[in-house]
Amino acid sequence: MTRDPATFAGLLTLTRPRIAILARPTACTVDLDAVLKERKRRPSLRIVLLSPRDAIEERLEALRAGVDEALADTIEPAELFARLTILEERAKARHETTVLRVTEDTSVDLIAHEVRRGGELVHLRPKEFRLLAMLAAHPGRAYTRRQLLDRVWGHDHHGDPRTVDVHVRWLRSKIEPRPDAPVHLVTVRGVGYRLDPGPR
């Protein structure tokens, strides 16, 4: 574990762990604040605090602050491993319901409202995000331009269906390996568009 709080906060964002373990007294209050802040941005993150056996009030305060487990550092390794496994399973289950796969290396996080490609954040306009999230929620399903307008822009939107084409073109420039030859966000002739995530 790094002793520099700023570096630690950066690693949380960069590595996106499912579980963050803080060991007191090595970890400081700033570290806990950084993890809790990351939790707000990424709710699937699980937090575990280990502290000296007699630091009961500290563990209770940590639980009140939002950590998932607050344990004495005298816990048996086998029990700690078992508890971490349970947390990992829960985090994974939640992750799979809130994070949708777009391509082999691109995902949509519905809770954090962000898209990542190769681990890097991809900036999308609000309508681009909604369009991509809807298609990712139903991979392989073809939608007409009218259906996409109704679901993303709203039933009261009476704009030109070509608006969808423009947004699809923007999305392709951000998620496709070759935007001029799309293999994920594909055109279905005579219908509209569908998302093909590709092999896992």
pLDDT tens digit string along 123-156?
A: 999 999 999 999 998 899 999 998 999 889 887 7
104 and 58 co-located in one domain: no
Is pLDDT at 116 greater than 50 in this prediction? yes
Quickly state the pLDDT bin for 119 (edges 50, 70, 90): confident
Quickly state the pLDDT bin for 173 (edges 50, 70, 90): very high
Could you tell me if residue 88 is inside a domain?
A: no
41 and 106 co-located in one domain: no
140 and 185 co-located in one domain: yes
Q: Which domain CATH number covers 16?
A: 3.40.50.2300
108 and 59 co-located in one domain: no
Q: Which domain CATH number covers 145?
A: 1.10.10.10
CA 112/CA 168 separation, integer angstroms: 22
69 and 107 co-located in one domain: no
Could you tell me if residue 90 is inside a domain?
A: no
Could you tell me if residue 145 is inside a domain?
A: yes
149 and 104 co-located in one domain: yes
Could you tell me if residue 95 is inside a domain?
A: no
Could you tell me if residue 137 is inside a domain?
A: yes
Picking from 156, 115, 139, the residue whose alpha carbon sits closest to that of residue 196 is 139
Question: What integer pLDDT is reported at residue 86 of this predicted model?
Answer: 86
CA 134/CA 142 separation, integer angstroms: 11
Question: What integer pLDDT is reported at residue 92 of this predicted model?
Answer: 66
Is pLDDT at 178 greater than 70 in this prediction? yes
Which one of 75, 108, 135 terminates a domain? 75
111 and 49 co-located in one domain: no
The bridge status of strand 114-117 relative to strand 106-109 is antiparallel
Which one of 60, 75, 90 terminates a domain? 75
56 and 132 co-located in one domain: no
120 and 37 co-located in one domain: no
Reduced to 3 states, what is the DSSP secondary structure of residue 43? coil
Which structural domain, as residue segments, surrounds residue 53?
A: 5-75
pLDDT per position as a tens digit, 51-76: 999 999 999 999 998 899 999 999 99
Picking from 47, 28, 27, the residue whose alpha carbon sits closest to that of residue 37 is 47
> Which amino acid would we find at residue 98?
T
118 and 165 co-located in one domain: yes
Task: Return mean pLDDT, the chain.
Answer: 86
Residues in the chain, how many? Answer: 200
Q: What is the DSSP-derived secondary structure letter of residue 151? A: I
Is pLDDT at 96 greater than 60 in this prediction? no
Ordered strands of the 114-117 beta sheet? 99-103, 106-109, 114-117, 120-122
- Max CA pair span of the chain: 70
37 and 107 co-located in one domain: no
- HSE of 107 in the Cβ direction (CA atoms, 13 Å)? 16
109 and 173 co-located in one domain: yes
Could you tell me if residue 20 is inside a domain?
A: yes
